[in-house]
Amino acid sequence: MTEETNAWETPQKILVILAHPDDPEFFCGASLAKWARAGHEVTYLLLTCGDKGFNPTTQADMTTEKLCAIRHVEQRNAANVIGAKAVHFLDVEDGYLTPNLDLRRDVVREIRRHKPDILVTCDPQNLFAMYGLNHPDHRACGQVVLDAVFPAAGSPVFFPELLAEGFEPHMPKEVWCSLTMQPNVTLDVTDTWDIKLKALFEHTTQIQEPDKLAERMKSRRAEDSTEENPRYEEKFRVVKYG
């Protein structure tokens, strides 16, 4: 495993493509904050708006449409804390993501639109997470993003209809997969861990007990650190093309 704390010498355009609002903050929020503060341009693209993230038994007045609108606002507020430049949504229905050709085309379009140097997503091979089963949307998102990157995004012979729309081929230099059990890059994010927590607290519909969340997150310190002097890390599987 390698560690890279200052991997890029010049400002990079970073596009974060994940499934739900709050995924960027939970999966890699401290890294995104670290990069934003280093002068890199961070943009979010969420494939869904997380419209099913409520319990109708206890939240009878909530609807999927209402929650979608609220989570748009929550995510933009959290992104502002992180230091992201912009947030975009495809608003695919929550829970029903599949890595099909239509969604792959949509993701290729967005890669060509934003022309990122660095693309951040999640590892589609991660079936299990620390809380149990990994959400199928997470896995589907990672799969469709990786399939969009290669071989489609940089080649004019894939989805030629996008050329007619004005979207020229573009290939990111690096793809960073978060939420992975196969990391090859570890970032020390101790300095921005509190920013990650502050951003997470903006997702008020999902976090009803922020104090308990803070305790859980603070317990995730690096194994070689102590409670008195904690150190925090975020890990990625990185593939480089440039």
Q: Is 114 left (phi over 0), alpha (psi -120 to 50) or beta?
A: alpha
**CATH level 3 topology of 12-127+182-222+230-242:** Rossmann fold (3.40.50)
**Residue 18: which residues within 8 A CB-CB, separation 6 or more?**
24, 27, 44, 45, 46, 47, 120, 121, 122, 138, 141, 178
Question: What pLDDT shows up at residue 1?
Answer: 43
Mean pLDDT of 89-111: 97
Mean pLDDT of 181-199: 97
* Residue 4 confidence class, pLDDT cut points 50, 70, 90: low
**Residue 68: which residues within 8 A CB-CB, separation 6 or more?**
49, 50, 51, 91
Report the percent of the chain where pLDDT is more than 70.
Answer: 96
Is 199:81 a contact under the CB 8 Å cutoff?
A: yes
How far is C-alpha 228 from the geometric centre of its chain's CA atoms? 30
Say whether pLDDT at 5 is over 50: no
